[in-house]
Amino acid sequence: MSEPPARGRLVLVPTPLDFGIRGSRPPPDLQNVLSLAVIRQAAALTYWVAENAKSARAFLKRVDAIVPLAQRLQALRIVELPRPAKGVKTPALPDLDELLAPALQGHDIGLVSEAGLPAVADPGAALVQAAHRLGLGVLTLAGPSSLLLALAASGLNGQSFAFVGYLPVDEGARAARIRELEALSRRAGQAQLMIETPYRNPALLAALLAHLQPATRLSVSCGLTLPEGWTRTDHIGAWRSRLTQVPADVPAVFALQA
């Protein structure tokens, strides 16, 4: 009786943080943000699960310019993560088993998000959970995470922090959430991190400046890993007296600590 094939792994492949940023300038050198070892591992994979197939192909094209892909780009199998139904945060795990079928036959599968580390402030956690349930190995490759880079650059509490995702769009609900996070930060001494769809960056900054107390510290990190990227941390009172504009077409991370 023949031995069953060795199982493959789910490989979490990081991508650069410049994906989706509009502009005419060419993207930065991939090796400025990813190690050659990570690029080589990405080049060797022929099965992929992606948040967005078009972005995944753009990423792999940049990989191919440094290390030739194991197969031509058009021959790679790239499938997209199922999009959850409205009001459902993650798809049901049985829907994901088929995506992991190649690993059960011995092939490693790459998981890639739009930018940064998969499954961290991005879709993919349910697929990782399914891989564990099926007994597959999960390998995480080192790469940029906008949340950790922003926290490190902020000077806020790196020993106790929380990522709270997106704030409500409704003005009243957003104001209430901001005050709630400020009170929580004050009680726990904890930094609170959040993100927003880039075109809403100015609105979120305006809301934070309007509803936080003058002594609360606010940190904004914008365009991380890009040549023009920046971080500013200051008290709300100083932000109000000397406003720094946040662009509406570049990803940013906001953090507060009361």
CATH number at residue 249: 3.30.950.10
Is there a domain that residue 64 lies in? yes
Q: Do residues 59 and 158 share a domain?
A: no
Residue 200: pLDDT band (50, 70, 90) is very high
Q: Rounded to two decimals, what is the model's pTM?
A: 0.85
Q: Do residues 157 and 133 share a domain?
A: no
Q: Is the pLDDT of residue 44 over 60?
A: yes
Is there a domain that residue 84 lies in? yes
Q: Do residues 108 and 190 share a domain?
A: no
Q: Do residues 244 and 154 share a domain?
A: yes
Q: Is the pLDDT of residue 121 over 90?
A: no
Q: Which residues, at least 6 apart from 35, have a Cβ–Cβ distance to it below 8 Å?
A: 142
Is there a domain that residue 4 lies in? no
Query: How many structural domains is the chain composed of?
Result: 2
Residue 93: pLDDT band (50, 70, 90) is very low
Is there a domain that residue 235 lies in? yes
Its domain, for residue 60, covers 9-140
Q: Are 258 and 185 in contact (CB under 8 A)?
A: yes
Phi-psi sector, 223: left (phi>0), alpha (psi -120 to 50), beta = left
Q: Which of 121, 140, 159 is the last residue of a domain?
A: 140
Q: Do residues 124 and 182 share a domain?
A: no
Residue 71 in tokens: 């197969």
